[in-house]
Amino acid sequence: MKMVFLGPPGAGKGTIAALAKDYYGIPHISTGDLFRSNIKNETALGLQVKSILASGGLVPDSVTIEMVRNRIAEPDCEKGFILDGFPRTIPQADALAEMTGLDAVVDFQISTEAVVARLSGRRMCPSTGRIYHILFNPPKVEGKDDETGEDLIQRDDDKEEAIKHRLEVYTAQTEPLIKYYTDKGLIKGVDASVAPDKVFENLKKALA
Ligand code: AMP
């Protein structure tokens, strides 16, 4: 199964992908996670994109496309993959179409008010990428990862100004992909406003 998860930041794509990758037995490829791990490891790519991520803007298409091209050429992607956060622009979608076919594009549907509430309360374990929410999915011990005990962090781009910018970028650059993939007959809409286990049920039904 080759899938793209589409939807605004904060729609829960990463949370649901973590469940779906085990269920479908395919890797979860998050371009945001790939960039963050390059930033953490201070690679040349990481240094190049660090300030872009902090501001909530988009990394140039050429850089992002090459990173994804290399990743989906790896053997674990032969049976399929979940692309989370890619494509985010029409040129990225065109480039992806040249690399591979797709079975489904899942549109995570949720209001702007709900994503702002989710993003501003989101916390993350810096080493594993595990995601929490201070109200909706709190860790067992406040501020600590359930498994590693590490201090949880708030992503720079989950702070108020960056959230606003990311949502504007989504509307201008990524939302047009809903029509793009609708025209190709690939879109499956999923109500993403409910709790993660319900969203996952909605996803399974939409893909059945
Ligand atoms: P995410 O974790 O998906 O919210 O992505 C975090 C940030 O990584 C975004 O705000 C962008 O700066 C960058 N990024 C992730 N995916 C892409 C993409 N497909 N194209 C350009 N920039 C991206």
The number of beta carbons lying within 10 Å of the beta carbon of residue 62 is: 11
d(CA 25, CA 116): 31
What residue spans of the chain are helical by DSSP H? 13-24, 31-40, 44-55, 61-72, 90-99, 112-120, 160-169, 176-183, 196-207
Contact 5, 83 (CB under 8 A): yes
Give the three-class secondary structure for 94: helix
Pick from 45, 48, 88, 170 the residue to mutate for probing ligand 1's pocket: most ligand atoms within 8 Å of its CB. 88
d(CA 98, CA 20): 25
129-146 residue pLDDT tens? 888 999 988 999 999 999
Per the annotation, the verdict on 13 as an active-site residue is yes
78-137 residue pLDDT tens? 999 999 999 999 999 999 999 999 999 999 999 999 999 999 999 999 888 888 999 988
3-state helix, strand, coil in the chain (%, to 5): 50, 15, 35
